Structure 1
Amino acid sequence: MQKPDSLIFDMDGTLWDAVDTYAYSWNVVFNELGVDITVERDQLAKMVGWEGKKVISAIMPDFDVEKRQEIYALVNEKRRTLLPQNGGILYDGVKEGLQQLATKYPLFILSNCAKGIIRLFIDWAGIDEHITDELAYGVNFMPKQHNIKLLMEKHKLQNPVYIGDTAGDGEESRKAGIPFVFVSYGFGITDDYNLKFDDFKSLTDYFMDF
């Protein structure tokens, strides 16, 4: 693997765990609408990293597309209200690691989340000064491989790597033509990676010494 000129991070399962808040936002909306569906943490954790249309199909299989999208919009609205208050769990070493890495690399966050969620995470975590740019699936509803290329073109990145926690992250990295760095402490499992780290400090130390 060539020396990278930038690091692009996934968010959920890589930088933090906000699944409890995500599940709560679903359940509050379902309760308000009188819908007899309960979303459990374990159920939602398995969907982390999925594109929104796949998530809503799995959670609301008996609803038509229009109704799913209508409810999902309400869930994301509720999520935007809850995240600044409830937040999530920032993984050990992330804040300190990003601070160090930003002295050597431009840092980006790219996630399959709704529009505005990455910004809420950045503000909640207090890492704005370390992040060069971010891009969410909800901005253009395009897959990660496409959005990786958009960031590369916009910022003239030559050798970025994508850092994530699922097999899907690895697949999208390959399609974008860049190396994939897998963090094993998140939600997914895969054997297809260029590098693997079991904690964020090890990742930070490696790239600071690269």
Structure 2
Amino acid sequence: MDKQATILKPDALLFDMDGTLWDGVNAYAQGFNDFFKAHGIKRSFTKKDLFKYMGMEEEPFLALILPEFTAVERKTVYREIIELQYKRIETDGGELYEGVKEGLSKLEEKYKLFIVSNCPEFTIQYFMDWAHIGAYFTDTLAHGMNYRPKHENIKYLIGKYNLQSPVYIGDTDSDRKQCELLDIPFGFVSYGFGDTMDYNLRFDSFDQLTNYFYTNTV
């Protein structure tokens, strides 16, 4: 994939959240464990247990992680788990990757910034509130808001804001595939949860990403 010429002067940066801006997996795992404990279920998840599922859409994620429940039960159960995860984000937070807050404050001067994630409805908002970065973003869209695939949510924001040359930035090959469906450039961050050998740009730190886009502007 070689579209380098099309990404020299982007007008917007759209970010994945988990594995790209932060690591909140411990809070997610603890939300599950709080649910299991409250209902006397002898199960528990570690952060490591959830890593391989990060970035998945809700339905296939729940089918893999809660197979003992029916599809209908999983949705009801997950609503309760999500609320417990929100509480964990508020109290425990997560790991904001080095350079993210400072980098976003610089990038916001020159680009429209967005978050598009396959997370529950309000997870992005809880994350931004915890990290105090909400002011840097023009808009956000979570899978849990409409249950649409990520590429459709990216496309929606592109149309809503009349974006002419957006770049999506994520940490998995799934993110790359979503960009391919839209024929938009993909910026891969190697420090996240996943891996891919196919990308338009690769960044090994958020500082590197910031430096690149801050100096390659319209």
TM norm structure 1: 0.98
Establish whether residue 171 from structure 1 lines up as the match of residue 177 from structure 2.
yes
Q: Which amino acid aligns with 2:143?
A: Y
The equivalent of 1:201 in structure 2 is 207
What is the CA-CA distance between 1:36 and the residue it aligns to? 2.5
Taking only the aligned residue pairs, the percentage that are identical comes to 47
The equivalent of 2:42 in structure 1 is 36
Establish whether residue 95 from structure 1 lines up as the match of residue 101 from structure 2.
yes
Establish whether residue 186 from structure 1 lines up as the match of residue 195 from structure 2.
no
The equivalent of 1:110 in structure 2 is 116
TM norm structure 2: 0.94
Tell me, in whole angstroms, the C-alpha distance in 1 between the residues paired with 2:173 and 2:87: 30
Establish whether residue 144 from structure 1 lines up as the match of residue 154 from structure 2.
no
What is the CA-CA distance between 1:67 and the residue it aligns to? 1.1
What is the CA-CA distance between 1:59 and the residue it aligns to? 1.0
Residue ranges of structure 1 left out of the alignment (5+ in a row): none
- 1:24-63 correspondence to structure 2 within 5 Å: 24-63=30-69
Tell me, in whole angstroms, the C-alpha distance in 1 between the residues paired with 2:42 and 2:10: 48
The equivalent of 1:75 in structure 2 is 81
Deviates more, 1:170-179 or 1:34-43: 34-43
Residue ranges of structure 2 left out of the alignment (5+ in a row): none
Equivalences, count: 210
Tell me, in whole angstroms, the C-alpha distance in 2 between the residues paired with 1:130 and 1:183: 20
Post-superposition Cα deviations, 1:99-138, rounded to whole Å, max 9, x if no partner, equal 0000010000010000011011111111122111000000
**Partner secondary structure for residue 156 of structure 1:** coil
Q: Which runs of 4+ in 1 moved over 3 A?
A: none
Q: Which amino acid aligns with 1:35?
A: I
What is the CA-CA distance between 1:37 and the residue it aligns to? 2.2
Post-superposition Cα deviations, 1:164-190, rounded to whole Å, max 9, x if no partner, equal 001111111111221100000000010
Post-superposition Cα deviations, 1:24-45, rounded to whole Å, max 9, x if no partner, equal 0001101111223221211201
Tell me, in whole angstroms, the C-alpha distance in 2 between the residues paired with 1:178 and 1:170: 9
Tell me, in whole angstroms, the C-alpha distance in 1 between the residues paired with 2:155 and 2:140: 13
> Which residue, 2, 10, 20 being the options, matches 1:4?
10
Q: CA RMSD in A?
A: 0.9
